[in-house]
């Protein structure tokens, strides 16, 4: 007698859990699979068929380009006004933009990417010392934070350096192989983040230091991704579609490409520009700006070539002691009512870790507006 549909589904689920558990038990990540010489990807990485079928709905995106904004002469009055307007427009229309001439030396960017590559390509036993699923730890190595919640695993490994609960980290807590380059990079990107928050404040017609005074530039996390070459990139993703939880993300990526933003029913390539950063609005800033700025869906394609290296700096705000955030009162009026309820950073972060990455948490905090 054939199994019922319920039994088949249950067996399929049990088999998937076994496969996920076996993959996690190796503590070697996706790179471990590639190093073993696989020619086809394991089933846990294959996207659901309905998701693969949906790809055919998206049109080509050759006619669109994510805004590139030159920060040169940011402190001159006329140039600053121009930059503020460009950032404002990009944050409203795209939720994404790239910045060039940001003041961070090329050697700092190169050394950071090279340090992360060396970390992921060192002996497995050294990486495994940092392996953990506890996202409250300051430094962890792993693969797929939503491994058991997602429809398919992503083709990447990650080193995460979290200063969300403490705005300081001892140098000795960082992996020795990339310690010096990481310390220098974190310092420089933090300063760039403060500059960008000032520009964003002005774009919202607030005082220049408004977002920084709210603590938006605090609570930093650096997530350093390693995307190995994939034998069947059409079947999986490097990172599933998602929106970023924090106030702001500053991303350094190498020249391989694969990052895409979803706009007007198209996936649009964010083409690498040498020496640039990709900047995107996060969910918390969309809520604080009362939908003035947009947190856009994005993803990373898998690729036959690699490894692709990227480093995302997330500015999440003050998590402890708990600070109440919500739509900025200066942006609220009779015509513009608050669209979101008040929240804390940990409220939103815990929500993020309780759901699949491809499900936005914005709706969970949106107020029901009765007209």
Domains and CATH numbers, the chain: 18-365 (2.60.120.330)
* Predicted confidence (pLDDT) per residue in 82-128, tens digit: 999 999 999 999 999 999 999 999 999 999 999 999 999 999 999 99
| Residue partners of 167: CB distance under 8 A and separation at least 6 | 218, 219, 220
Q: Residue 287 in contact with residue 325, Cβ under 8 Å?
A: yes
Lowest mean pLDDT among 52-56, 180-184, 344-348: 52-56
* Predicted confidence (pLDDT) per residue in 217-239, tens digit: 999 999 999 999 999 999 999 99
Q: Please provide the average confidence, as pLDDT, over all residues in the chain.
A: 93
> For residue 9, what is the enclosing H or E element?
helix 5-26
Distance, C-alpha 81 to centroid of its chain? 29
What's residue 344's pLDDT? Answer: 96
Q: In 149-302, which ranges are continuous DSSP H helix?
A: 179-203, 210-213, 283-288
Kindly tell me if the per-residue pLDDT of 8 is higher than 80: no
Nearest 5°: phi and psi at 286?
-60, -40
Kindly tell me if the per-residue pLDDT of 5 is higher than 60: no
What's residue 1's pLDDT? Answer: 44
What's residue 2's pLDDT? Answer: 56
Lowest mean pLDDT among 208-212, 251-255, 306-310, 353-357: 353-357
Kindly tell me if the per-residue pLDDT of 256 is higher than 90: yes
Q: Residue 239 in contact with residue 158, Cβ under 8 Å?
A: no
What's residue 59's pLDDT? Answer: 60
What's residue 6's pLDDT? Answer: 58
Q: In terms of pTM, does the model score above 0.85?
A: yes
Residue from 309, 308, 359, 303 nearest 146 by CA: 359
């Amino acid at each position: 007698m054939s199994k019922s549909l319920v039994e088949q589904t249950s067996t399929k689920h049990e088999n998937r859990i076994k496969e996920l558990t076996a993959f996690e038990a190796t503590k070697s990540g996706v790179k471990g699979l590639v190093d073993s010489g696989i020619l086809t990807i394991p089933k846990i990485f294959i996207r659901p068929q309905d998701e693969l079928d949906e790809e055919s709905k998206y049109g080509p995106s050759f006619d669109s380009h994510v805004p590139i904004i030159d920060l040169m002469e940011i402190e001159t009055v006329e140039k600053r006004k121009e930059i503020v307007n460009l950032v404002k427009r990009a944050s409203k229309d795209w939720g994404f933009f790239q910045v060039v001439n940001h003041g961070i030396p090329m050697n700092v960017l190169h050394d950071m990417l090279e340090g992360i590559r060396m970390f992921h390509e060192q002996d497995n036993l050294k990486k495994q010392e940092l392996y953990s699923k506890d996202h409250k730890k300051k430094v962890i190595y792993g693969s797929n934070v939503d491994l058991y919640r997602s429809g398919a695993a992503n083709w990447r490994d990650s080193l995460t350096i979290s200063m969300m609960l403490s705005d300081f980290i001892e140098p000795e807590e960082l992996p020795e192989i990339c310690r010096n380059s990481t310390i220098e990079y974190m310092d420089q990107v933090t300063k760039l983040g403060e500059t960008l928050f000032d520009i964003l404040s002005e774009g919202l017609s607030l005082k220049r230091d408004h977002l920084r005074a709210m603590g938006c530039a605090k609570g930093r996390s650096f997530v350093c991704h390693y995307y190995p070459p994939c034998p069947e990139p059409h079947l999986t993703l490097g990172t599933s579609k998602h929106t970023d939880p924090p106030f702001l993300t500053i991303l350094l990526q190498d020249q391989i490409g694969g990052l895409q933003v979803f706009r007007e029913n198209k996936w649009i390539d964010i083409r690498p520009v040498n020496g640039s950063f990709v900047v995107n609005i996060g969910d918390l800033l969309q809520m604080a700006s009362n939908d003035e700025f947009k947190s856009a869906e994005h993803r990373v394609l898998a690729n036959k070539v690699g490894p692709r290296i990227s480093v995302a700096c997330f500015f999440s705000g003050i998590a402890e002691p708990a600070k109440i955030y919500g739509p900025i009162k200066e942006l609220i009026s009779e015509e513009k009512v608050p669209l979101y309820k008040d929240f804390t950073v940990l409220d939103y972060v815990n929500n993020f870790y309780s759901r699949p990455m491809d499900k936005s948490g914005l709706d969970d905090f949106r107020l029901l507006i009765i007209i």
